[in-house]
Structure 1
């Protein structure tokens, strides 16, 4: 279309020039109508040219606007842009890079990028840049740049060959020049995060290898993926064996359900982890007490990926706690419940009666003429007699019963779930067996008897002392009636709700 129009214009121009030549010579080969038609065609063509010029001006304005937008994007980009030649000389830069190094854009043109690198990296960069310039695709160079105030920051350079040089003045372009567009990213924060992560990983590795606590990675199928030597020591299984064993297989049966419930909550996304006391069964069938802390690590999609487990051996601590509890609740001579612990259990039994109407009985027991034993055989023999009584009484009472030493030769027995007749029969049986089971001591064989007072718990009892006082009355009645006997004191108010 444009070729045909250009041909028509050439013919029109030739005709107009011929007409002008003829007019200068005073000769006219065209009629008046032909001349008017030629003038008309020239006018039309002039209008077309003006319209084309207008289109060109509009296109030029649009190009300038596009160029301005490109320039704004170029200079206001969140990363630095550099146009470098093969020698690493800066041919062009955006405002972002200029701000990074604290200089004006005019100061940077013609300078070598290496001039803005920290001294130790200068020569290394020059050696790497040549290869980077020739083949930048998929590569990057991490450098340390310095700004005008000598402040250093980490930067990553990536490049693209045959860089767009629209903003580079044409007079500075050399036809055979190959340029490289370099993108400069400030990675100071990323480096700081990487350094912090690396330090954290090193600390974790230190804890992992130090062996103070057991550490491992657990798969979602409960198997051990990775673990340190300390975990093998705590759990009592060799590494090869533990690698083919799930944690559920070596968990104490009584603790398994509680942990599986927590484990399933983690898999369901209801919690990120849990901490609990649990027991493992070692290879030698011994039980090890531990505290385990489990935390879930999620995949990028948010689903559980694996679990990090920390295991602390608290077997010794548990043993110490049990010993402290025993010392706090046990009489050291007879190994029975001491007075404080016994009264606390009586209070609990009284609460059960008042809440659930569960019957219970109490025996108050006193060794007859015990002072004479101490006076005749000595306190060592007296202690032996007390221990002998405790041993015999424990065998007579049921496992659910609690026998305690209240002080001196005075003992008490708590009988849960016992009615009046059952309590009386048990007390009588105990009295008979004690009387027929003399104590063998270093000072000789010593025969003893006991007096026993029996009572039942009542809804009207407000405290343990009320029950003990009633049993004590029955005990003193047994003593007054000649000792070596059982007396019963039944509460007047209803024992259970009517």
Structure 2
């Protein structure tokens, strides 16, 4: 195709059909051509802008940073590229959503055929979508790089954490173990192996219950169930373990649960602390707090507490209960004649005699001085009277050898039974004490049984001297 067959109108038709914004202006910046594409972008019709100065519509193009480059073009210089990223839009326009359209502009000089004047042809390509894709790609790339870096840091932190855990696990002062949901040992540290006197290879795969006393295996079962259900984060329980040498030790287990990425139970982390010494100390303190130091039976507080508990049980189950008050006859005379050490020997011998007669379910305690209390559980009246008489007779036959003499002594007993009118241990004890007073006043060395409706005089509120 040659110029003869391709006239000015054909060029204009071609430029109007291009998907690029096309603008032509001369050396005086008068616009000579304005195609339909740039019309649609700027909403400025060609009839309103052609023949008018560019500065009327776009004064920023007369700034030195633009005019200096246009002058170079007019002087025969090479085409000039205006990058959207560096120079913005040469001919500003907006997209339908209000966003500024980004343009890539190329300006080149040519000489008009008719006027032989220099002119500039500017072609503007809409690169908004391309820039948005590049921006999204850059953002995605930056995000991916950030995620990779964060993953690398997370893996490093996790690796460091695992190393710290492994070190803390292996060299912890207390026993540490990983235990499966079936309670099989998965891993055991040095302290645990030393505590149980087994090597780790001897523990792995075996059930933890194999090392626990049979009567303690079910301890903590309810807490374990709550832990698996997610109701608690951890629990503690004390159990007795058996070492290789057969020694029984008390162990405090602190148990927590590890879950997998789907929050399903995976395995237990268990800390095992040997608390045998503490349990022994607790037992010693309990004995000191509840036991009479001379006779090794319950002291007054422990006796009354156990008696109260037994009374409530009998009330619930509708069973009979007998309360016995026992007092050593003429005990002051024994102390005054043979000394307090002899009196102590008398009390200890009397207690041992009673314990040999009483049943394991009965409650026996020292109330103070030479006065003792006995609670016979689930016993009929006749049986209670027989037991009381057996106690009295056995003690009367005792011959207690002391450093100073061989002492024979007697006791008196008062017996009261649980009935509708007696609701507390204090009520029973007062009635049994009144019966004991009757036994004393009737000559000692005898058993007096209080009837349900029998009126008894309470003992005088002074210390009784036999």
Match of 1:305 among 243, 258, 266: 266
- Corresponding residue for 2:129? 66
SS in 2 for 1:312: strand
**Residues of 1 paired with 2:125 and 2:264: CA distance?**
51
Residue 454 of structure 1 pairs with residue 435 of structure 2: no
Contact 2:176/2:191 (8 A) holds in 1 = yes
**Residues of 1 paired with 2:139 and 2:166: CA distance?**
43
Contact 1:79/1:186 (8 A) holds in 2 = no
**Residues of 1 paired with 2:303 and 2:126: CA distance?**
98
**Which structure shows the bigger proportion of residues in helix conformation?**
1
SS in 1 for 2:384: helix
- Corresponding residue for 1:401? 362
Compared CA separation, residues 195 and 489, structure 1 to 2 (3 A) = farther
**Residues of 2 paired with 1:368 and 1:184: CA distance?**
94
**5+ residue gaps in structure 1?**
1-9, 21-38, 81-157, 159-182, 494-498
Residue 234 of structure 1 pairs with residue 234 of structure 2: no
Match of 2:289 among 300, 310, 328: 328
Compared CA separation, residues 492 and 237, structure 1 to 2 (3 A) = farther
| Post-superposition offset of 1:200 | 5.5
**Residues of 1 paired with 2:289 and 2:192: CA distance?**
34
Compared CA separation, residues 237 and 402, structure 1 to 2 (3 A) = farther
TM-score normalised by structure 1 residue count: 0.63
SS in 2 for 1:276: strand
Residue 473 of structure 1 pairs with residue 434 of structure 2: yes
**Residues of 1 paired with 2:270 and 2:359: CA distance?**
43
Compared CA separation, residues 386 and 77, structure 1 to 2 (3 A) = same
| Post-superposition offset of 1:319 | 1.1
Across the aligned residues of Structure 1 and Structure 2, the Cα RMSD in angstroms comes to 3.5
- Corresponding residue for 1:94? none
- Corresponding residue for 1:392? 353
| Post-superposition offset of 1:356 | 3.7
Compared CA separation, residues 199 and 71, structure 1 to 2 (3 A) = closer
SS in 2 for 1:257: coil
- Corresponding residue for 2:52? none
- Corresponding residue for 2:28? none
Contact 1:455/1:471 (8 A) holds in 2 = yes
Compared CA separation, residues 269 and 371, structure 1 to 2 (3 A) = closer
Contact 1:275/1:293 (8 A) holds in 2 = yes
SS in 2 for 1:335: coil
| Post-superposition offset of 1:285 | 3.0
**Residues of 1 paired with 2:126 and 2:212: CA distance?**
76
Match of 2:181 among 214, 220, 230: 220
Residue 351 of structure 1 pairs with residue 351 of structure 2: no
- Corresponding residue for 2:298? 337
| Post-superposition offset of 1:481 | 1.8
**Residues of 2 paired with 1:63 and 1:252: CA distance?**
84
- Corresponding residue for 1:180? none
Aligned residues: 356
**Residues of 1 paired with 2:284 and 2:362: CA distance?**
22
Residue 437 of structure 1 pairs with residue 422 of structure 2: no
Compared CA separation, residues 439 and 300, structure 1 to 2 (3 A) = same
**Residues of 1 paired with 2:363 and 2:147: CA distance?**
77
Residue 53 of structure 1 pairs with residue 18 of structure 2: yes
**Residues of 1 paired with 2:441 and 2:376: CA distance?**
25
| Post-superposition offset of 1:361 | 0.6
**Residues of 1 paired with 2:424 and 2:347: CA distance?**
28
**Residues of 2 paired with 1:316 and 1:359: CA distance?**
41
Residue 251 of structure 1 pairs with residue 199 of structure 2: no
| Post-superposition offset of 1:187 | 5.1
Compared CA separation, residues 428 and 304, structure 1 to 2 (3 A) = same
**Residues of 1 paired with 2:420 and 2:246: CA distance?**
48
Compared CA separation, residues 307 and 49, structure 1 to 2 (3 A) = same
- Corresponding residue for 1:295? 256
Compared CA separation, residues 375 and 54, structure 1 to 2 (3 A) = closer
| Post-superposition offset of 1:306 | 1.8
- Corresponding residue for 1:104? none
SS in 2 for 1:395: helix
Compared CA separation, residues 300 and 383, structure 1 to 2 (3 A) = same
Compared CA separation, residues 55 and 259, structure 1 to 2 (3 A) = same
Compared CA separation, residues 201 and 344, structure 1 to 2 (3 A) = same
Alignment of 1:89-488 (within 5 A): 183=145, 191=153, 204-205=165-166, 207-267=168-228, 271-488=232-449
**Residues of 2 paired with 1:201 and 1:248: CA distance?**
28
Residues 110-169 of structure 1: CA deviation (Å, up to 9, x unaligned): xxxxxxxxxxxxxxxxxxxxxxxxxxxxxxxxxxxxxxxxxxxxxxxx9xxxxxxxxxxx
SS in 1 for 2:414: strand
SS in 2 for 1:392: helix
| Post-superposition offset of 1:73 | 2.8
| Post-superposition offset of 1:466 | 1.7
SS in 1 for 2:220: helix
SS in 2 for 1:79: helix
| Post-superposition offset of 1:75 | 6.0
| Post-superposition offset of 1:232 | 2.0
**Residues of 1 paired with 2:184 and 2:289: CA distance?**
41
